[in-house]
Amino acid sequence: MLNGLNKFQDQAYALLRVMAGLMFMAHGVQKLFNFPVEFPYPLNPMTMAAGGIELVGGFLIIIGLFTRPVAFLASGMSAVGYWMAHGMKGLYPITNGGEIIALYCFIFLFIATYGGGKWSVDNRKA
């Protein structure tokens, strides 16, 4: 019944990549620039490094440049962030507040395996 949507798979993937990158980048902007709201936790070198990965990595994922390695790095950073900030508060993401970062981990793992796809610099026609 919904097989007619198959023709939009490439566009849907590109939108997923762009929106995931935008949302990820927003976390970096908040950490590093306190925008649009102040980051509620004290900054330390690890938090600032995460903010840099979120800001730069999110941008690169949005435009689809070096998509696989950047998404792999973002996935790993999200996994580490999950266990450091949320996993110690409980096993289940719904109880420890880690749903978003857990989703980032697996979305970026998928993007790392799939690549830039449609509308990416990685796949531009020369």
The one-letter amino acid at 38: E
**What pLDDT digit, counting tens, does each position of 58-112 carry?**
999 999 999 999 999 999 999 999 999 999 999 899 999 999 999 999 999 999 9
Q: Is 68 exposed, middle or buried (0-12, 13-18, 19+ CB in 10 A)?
A: middle
Q: Is residue 6 in a domain? A: no
Q: Is residue 87 in a domain? A: yes
pLDDT for position 126: 62
The one-letter amino acid at 13: Y
Which residues constitute the domain of residue 28? 16-34+43-115
Q: Is residue 9 in a domain? A: no
Q: Is residue 1 in a domain? A: no
Prediction pTM value: 0.94
> Running DSSP on this structure, what letter comes out for residue 74?
H
Q: Is residue 8 in a domain? A: no
Q: Is residue 3 in a domain? A: no
Q: How far apart are the first and last CA of the chain?
A: 38
Q: Is residue 10 in a domain? A: no
- What's the domain count of the chain? 1
| Cis amide prior to 36 (ω within 30 degrees) | yes
